[in-house]
Amino acid sequence: MNLTAESHRVPLNDGNSIPLLGLGTYADPQKTPKGSCLESVKIAIDAGYRHIDGAFVYYNEHEVGQAIREKIAEGRIKREDIFYCGKLWNTCHPPELVRPTLEKTLKILQLDYVDLYIIELPMAFKPGDAIYPKDENGKIIYHETDLCATWEVECHPYFTQPKLLEFCRQHDIVIVGYSPLGTSRDETWVNVSSPPLLKDPVLNAIGKKYNKTAAQVALRFSIQRGVVVIPKSFNPQRIRENFQIFDFSLTEKEMKEIEALNKNVRYVELLMWRDHPEYPFSDEY
């Protein structure tokens, strides 16, 4: 596959296609100044990103929508150039809530459609106004739903998911790997006992050879395997850095060396919800 900055879409089995590199937009709303998401998405579009990954529960989806609309108004892009992925939150799993929730997202974005709408997590919470509904003991109130949908998968050099990837290849399913850089290591939701991916000596040594960073090597590794990546950055230099992965390629030997880094550890374990009947990470896949 010849991947370039302008052309790095992979086909989906429904006839659509998805860019292999997207911008992740989750940042802790308490710690992130308002407007950073807006600016970052605009910088990303200027840098060449055409895939933006967002969600209602990130509390900044209105900024994502505004950035896309401003770039359309400027004439830099057309709506159809952008691939936007939105997500259904845990409190909206009952089938009758899916459509109105998607419509709410479209209103927030002020866009006519999203390109992909996925279940944020397979663990339903009690429907209602509270995003994190809690009982009198402060415990999240779970909810039962019949779950049958595609779902995103953590994927990076420390969690290479060979079995899942093979299964998906056989069934013509494209994987979108979240946390491709090993997350922000925010200890409220990340397993920080696992070593930081970007400090890995092999990634750094390979990067040195190509004058690239460990982050660029980790991202290139994923897209060369056909795994879509959505690195989050709200830092202009790093947003651009993460897009500069189309001017080098890893050799087969380097791909194997990176595959061998797999430690089968998840950064995003969500252990606080491990007693949910649909907790997904105990299954082998």
Q: Which is closer to ligand A2P, CB of 110 or CB of 235? A: 235
- Determine whether 285 is an active site residue: no
We find the least distance from the C-beta atom of residue 128 to ligand A2P, in angstroms, to be 29
Closer to ligand A2P by Cβ: residue 60 or 233: 233
Assigned token pair, 18: 């998805």
Nearest to 143 by CA among 99, 91, 88, 89: 91
C-beta separation of 114 from 105 below 8 A: yes
Name which of 198 and 203 has its Cβ closer to ligand A2P. 198
Minimum Å gap between C-beta 197 and ligand A2P is: 8
DSSP string spanning 73-108? Answer: HHTS--GGG-EEEEEE-GGG-SHHHHHHHHHHHHHH
Binding footprint of ligand A2P on the chain (CB under 6 A): 24, 179-184, 198, 213, 215, 231-235, 238, 241-242
Q: From the centroid of its chain, how far is CA 180?
A: 8
The torsion of the CA quartet 8, 10, 16, 22, rounded to 10 degrees, works out to -60
The radius of gyration of the chain's CA atoms, rounded to the nearest angstrom, is 19
In 3D space, the residue among 164, 189, 180 whose CA is nearest the CA of residue 268 turns out to be 189
Supply the minimum distance, in Å, between the C-beta of residue 285 and ligand A2P. 21
Helix and strand numbers, DSSP H then E, in the chain: 8, 9
Q: Which is nearer to ligand A2P, 56 or 159 (CB)?
A: 159
Which is catalytic among the residues 58, 142, 158, 267? Answer: 58
Token duo for residue 169: 């290849």
- Closer to ligand A2P by CB, 43 or 215: give it: 215
- From the CB of 135, what's the least distance to ligand A2P, in Å? 31
- Residue whose CB is less far from ligand A2P, 21 or 215: 215
Report CA torsion sign: 183, 120, 123, 157. Answer: negative
Shortest Å, Cβ 266 to ligand A2P: 12
Residue owning tokens 């080098």: 248
Decide: 98 and 126 in contact? Cβ < 8 Å: no
Distance of CA 231 to the CA centre of its chain: 7
The Cα–Cα gap between 13 and 203 comes to: 32
Query: Whose CA is closest to 228, among 187, 273, 168?
Result: 168
Nearest distance, CB of residue 237 and ligand A2P, angstroms: 8
Catalytic residue annotation: 58
